[in-house]
Amino acid sequence: MREIVLTQAGQCGNQIGAKFWEVISDEHAVDSAGTCHGDSHLQLERINVYYNEASGQCGAGNNWAKGHYTEGAELMESVMDVVRKEAESCDCLQGFQLTHSLGGGTGSGMGTLLLSKIREEYPDRIINTFSILPLPKVSDTVVEPYNATLSVHQLIENADETFCIDNEALYDICSRTLKLPTPTYGDLNHLVSATMSGVTTCLRFPGQLNADLRNLAVNMVPFPRLHFFLPGFAPLTSRGSQQYRALTVAELTQQMFDAKNMMAACDPRHGRYLTAAAIFRGRRPMREVDEQMFNIQDKNSSYFADWLPNNVKTAVCDIPPRGLKMSATFIGNNTAIQE
């Protein structure tokens, strides 16, 4: 079994993590008490990829140094203890996942401290982070840019894969595409958890062509420091029109590469794709998926780096998410991320 240890730092990280647990519990038919009600052997086959937890209670007051050097450092020994315990109880530990925001104090300061400690102790394991970036438009506090700057340095050095997500893009998706009049943080977190679930789907369910964390890193990172990805998810439609929409691989592919679907507020058309990965869920022939990927690269060849041939990775998992016949998760390594 290839397990992942999920760590959550700070308020934002914990709320996203909680939503992610809800989504994957639902997919594996596990209720809130931890009892399994699934009738399919596929739900149980790889259930122990995730599941277990630990916590502390303290605030860093939006101060990176407090999270990284004082409050966070005090908690670090007990946190690492739990991480060690989890890692030791794994049959074959595949890697670590961290959810945090870069704007707060705990998520950015303590999150990056945790990252460096994990990297020190497990240098050969994959570490991927889902990092919520602060934005000037919807900024709560003055110090967010400083916290983010200090954190990004740590992410460059210590993470293997960083999925960059920001609230502005999520708000846009909720209001423009999902037609929600007043999006709540719950709605935003649901979008993030759908993407997280899509990225890890190949580890949790069997499929025709699987992609684990290492496989993703090998295909997505041309140079060690260029590991900041744009995530996207399709189909995103308003609740009312969901049942009238016929989903084909072509439509999913088109929506997936659309700038409006990116969960980071930067336009991929302003840069080039170094690499990309598309993870499809739902029973679909591989030929169809490969054909669409070839078409999109052929038509938009100017948006793909020409010095990296065949740079789109595909994976297909047979189990669709709850309530959809098929879906696709997109991960792009695009130079526009510098925006």
Measuring CA to CA, which residue among 109, 81, 86 is closest to residue 97?
Answer: 86
- Quote the radius of gyration of the chain (alpha carbons, Å): 19
What pLDDT is attached to residue 166? 86
The C-alpha angle 177, 200, 324, rounded to 5 degrees, equals 45
Task: For residue 149, tell me if it sits in a domain.
Answer: yes
> Strand order of the sheet with strand 327-334?
2-8, 92-101, 126-133, 161-166, 228-234, 327-334, 273-281, 312-317, 207-209
Task: For residue 120, tell me if it sits in a domain.
Answer: yes
What pLDDT is attached to residue 274? 92
Task: For residue 292, tell me if it sits in a domain.
Answer: no
What pLDDT is attached to residue 89? 82
Task: For residue 3, tell me if it sits in a domain.
Answer: yes
How much of the chain is helix, strand and coil, in % rounded to 5? Answer: 50, 20, 30
Structure tokens belonging to residue 41: 């052997």
224: CB partners within 8 A, 6+ apart: none
Structure tokens belonging to residue 144: 């967010």
CA distance to 3, 78, 111, 200, per residue, from 114 (Å): 19, 11, 5, 21
Task: For residue 202, tell me if it sits in a domain.
Answer: no
Q: Is residue 106 a contact partner of residue 67, using CB atoms and an 8 Å limit?
A: yes
The structural domain count of the chain equals 1
The C-alpha angle 238, 175, 20, rounded to 5 degrees, equals 75
**Four-CA torsion 48, 4, 265, 237, nearest 10 degrees:** -10
Taking the chain, what is the end-to-end CA distance rounded to the nearest angstrom? 39
Reading the chain (339 residues) residue by residue, the pLDDT tens digits are: 577 888 888 788 888 888 887 777 777 666 655 555 555 555 444 444 444 445 555 556 567 777 778 777 778 888 888 888 888 888 888 889 888 888 877 888 888 888 999 999 999 999 989 998 887 766 677 888 888 888 899 899 999 999 999 888 888 888 888 888 888 888 888 888 888 888 888 777 776 666 778 888 888 899 988 999 999 888 887 666 665 666 788 888 888 888 888 888 888 888 889 999 988 888 878 888 888 888 888 888 888 888 888 888 888 888 888 777 888 899 999 998 876
- Can you say how many angstroms the Cα of residue 67 is from the centroid of all Cα atoms in its chain? 23
The 3-state DSSP class for residue 274 equals strand
Peptide bond into 222 cis (omega under 30): no
The C-alpha angle 195, 197, 200, rounded to 5 degrees, equals 110
Pairing mode, strands 312-317 and 228-234:
unpaired
**CATH number of the structural domain spanning residue 51:** 3.40.50.1440
Task: For residue 7, tell me if it sits in a domain.
Answer: yes
Task: For residue 106, tell me if it sits in a domain.
Answer: yes
Domain interval for residue 57: 1-159
- pLDDT tens digits, one per residue of 147-169: 888 889 989 999 999 999 988 88
Which residues partner with 209 through β-bridges?
316
Taking each helix axis from N to C terminus, what angle separates 111-121 and 71-88, rounded to the nearest 10 degrees? 40
Structure tokens belonging to residue 213: 């964390």
Other CB atoms closer than 10 Å to residue 240's CB: what's the count? 8
Q: What's the length of the chain?
A: 339
pTM equals 0.85
Task: For residue 331, tell me if it sits in a domain.
Answer: no
